[in-house]
Structure 1
């Protein structure tokens, strides 16, 4: 039977196509039981790479079945047919994904960004507390419900972290994700702490939320890596971002993994905390930060001679001469999924590496 007939037997009326790849596709459908529209990811085991079928798909199914958080796309049902097709019925993000939202409307105001970022951070804390890591956090994987609340999706590269005999998390050696959101240690092919990797991606997402552009140009990975390792970060002056917001982004986009914030520190940062949303930039250091004591303070005052942990330079100096408008997201390459080796930067489509299912633009 075809997909329409199979879904009909399970009580779903097939709708439009939402995305399609070489071995997976996403369809909308109406659930006669739930009485509302859902998204159905259909994966064909016969067409999928062996590595994906044997490792990544079982992980995704296991993790989706255990997650239950208001800011994570709900999974209603998972079933498989005898011919090797897997059907994952999920909550539908009716307002599309965050990337399209920002491309259409431009950068978010800080209050709106704070709300959405808090929802996302809460979802990541929930996962990290379960020792689950996402490893592919990006704006395309953040869907919006009818009220424009964040819903995290696509756990195709997620995994449950293992611990050694002393209880410490073991390092991950699978280099996956999207180059524009990947942490320096991943780009360098260094075994990494996956939770710490997720934090870097969160920093990129928040930057895009409030700036409407990418923090780094991923057209030249080696050059981008050098800039990241030097902790150089530029904010567009036209956005008039608060010092607290810049401070949080800088501490997430920290190349030193021992100084990068943890998820609990992000949620307790003064910019994220509701009680401190009205604080001025001058109050940041006075009130105290949630970050480690080793993190130096830095200023954003124009003309200041005090050295800061992050070089904050005019956005114009960091952009190419033919830069787009500041309110548009530079995303020509960010949807490419890559795998990084020590020898060279290679695309994820090489033999032996799993290809990611299609983006769930639901």
Structure 2
């Protein structure tokens, strides 16, 4: 029996193809019971790898059944046929994903970004409070409903965190995600704290929201990792971001996992809290911590000749004297997000693990 016939028996009229991988695909469908369109993720067990079937798929199904949050894509039903196909019926993100939204409309104004980022952060807090981690946060996995509210989706690499006898969360050794959103510890193949990994990815997402470009160039992973470990975050001069916004991004993109913000600290940050908007900015000191004081200035980093053709001029997040851009400098280097990052979001394939810095994951993605 084909997919359309299976869905018809369950009360769904199959629509168009939304995405397809080697052993999974997503279709739209109309639910005769719900009276609106849904998304249907169809997984073929006969084509899927053993590791996915034994580990990742059971985790995803268990977690989807647990989640109930206004900023997380709803799961309406999960069923399986005797032929080995799994059907996951989900809420449809009718306005597409966040990456396409930004590619089409450009960087978000801070007020719009604040609203959407608060929705996303609330969803992550909900998950983290349940000891659930996503581990593949990226713009492609954030969908928009009819009112352009954010909805977190794709829990293919999610898991429930384990705790040791003392109640502390254990480290994770499975490395998931796309390189451009991956934290330095993951790129290096170091056992990591999965909740802290999610926070780094959140920082990358907020940067993309307000800048319309990537914070790091992932075409050279070793160079990107070196810049990340130096805690260098450069912002496009043309965006005129507030000090509070830069501060929040800078503290989420903290390479030291013991100093990276936690989700509660993000939600209580002065930029996220509209009522605190009149308060003094938190200046970033050389150690990457913050202290109350006047808004810091930001010194631009001179782009190297190799990258000048595709990266915006950036200003490095350090409290030094601001220098004025040269005429037409911004126009010369300004490029919005235009390339969709490679992903196996439908497949969840996991290539072999690389643990040495000299053998880092390839630029497109880091699934291990």
Question: Where does structure 2 lack aligned partners over 5 or more consecutive residues?
Answer: 312-332
Q: Distance in 1 between matches of 2:166 and 2:289?
A: 27
Match for residue 345 of structure 1?
360
* Matching of residues 138-217 of structure 1 within 5 Å: 138-217=138-217
Structure 1 counterpart SS, 2:309: coil
Structure 2 counterpart SS, 1:322: coil
Q: Structure 2 vs 1, CA of residues 115 and 296 (structure 1 numbering), >3 Å: closer, same or farther?
A: closer
Match for residue 328 of structure 1?
336
Matched, 1:274 2:288: no
Q: 1:295 aligns with which of 273, 279, 289?
A: 289
RMSD (Å), alpha carbons: 2.4
* Matching of residues 2-13 of structure 1 within 5 Å: 2-13=2-13
Q: Following TM superposition, by how much is the alpha carbon of 1:284 offset from its aligned partner in structure 2, in angstroms? A: 2.0
**Higher RCO (CA < 8 A, seq sep 6+):** 1
Q: Distance in 2 between matches of 1:54 and 1:81?
A: 18
Q: Is the 8 A contact 2:282 2:290 kept in 1?
A: no
Match for residue 64 of structure 1?
64
Q: Distance in 2 between matches of 1:334 and 1:275?
A: 39
Match for residue 313 of structure 1?
300
Match for residue 54 of structure 1?
54
Q: Following TM superposition, by how much is the alpha carbon of 1:318 offset from its aligned partner in structure 2, in angstroms? A: 9.2
Q: Distance in 2 between matches of 1:335 and 1:217?
A: 16
Deviations 1:75-129 (A, max 9, x none): 0000000010000000000000000000000000000000000000000000000
Match for residue 322 of structure 2?
none
Q: Structure 2 vs 1, CA of residues 349 and 331 (structure 1 numbering), >3 Å: closer, same or farther?
A: closer
Structure 1 residue runs of 4 or more that deviate by more than 6 Å after TM superposition: none
Q: Is the 8 A contact 2:12 2:30 kept in 1?
A: yes
Q: Structure 2 vs 1, CA of residues 347 and 78 (structure 1 numbering), >3 Å: closer, same or farther?
A: farther
Q: Is the 8 A contact 1:234 1:315 kept in 2?
A: no
Q: Structure 2 vs 1, CA of residues 225 and 336 (structure 1 numbering), >3 Å: closer, same or farther?
A: farther
Q: Distance in 2 between matches of 1:318 and 1:79?
A: 54
Q: Following TM superposition, by how much is the alpha carbon of 1:178 offset from its aligned partner in structure 2, in angstroms? A: 0.4
Q: Distance in 2 between matches of 1:228 and 1:135?
A: 19
Q: Following TM superposition, by how much is the alpha carbon of 1:341 offset from its aligned partner in structure 2, in angstroms? A: 1.9
Match for residue 86 of structure 2?
86
Question: Where does structure 1 lack aligned partners over 5 or more consecutive residues?
Answer: 303-311, 355-362
Q: Is the 8 A contact 1:236 1:316 kept in 2?
A: no
Q: Following TM superposition, by how much is the alpha carbon of 1:295 offset from its aligned partner in structure 2, in angstroms? A: 2.1
How many corresponding residue pairs? 335
Q: Is the 8 A contact 1:203 1:253 kept in 2?
A: yes
Q: Structure 2 vs 1, CA of residues 95 and 295 (structure 1 numbering), >3 Å: closer, same or farther?
A: same
TM-score by length of 2: 0.86
Q: Distance in 2 between matches of 1:316 and 1:98?
A: 28
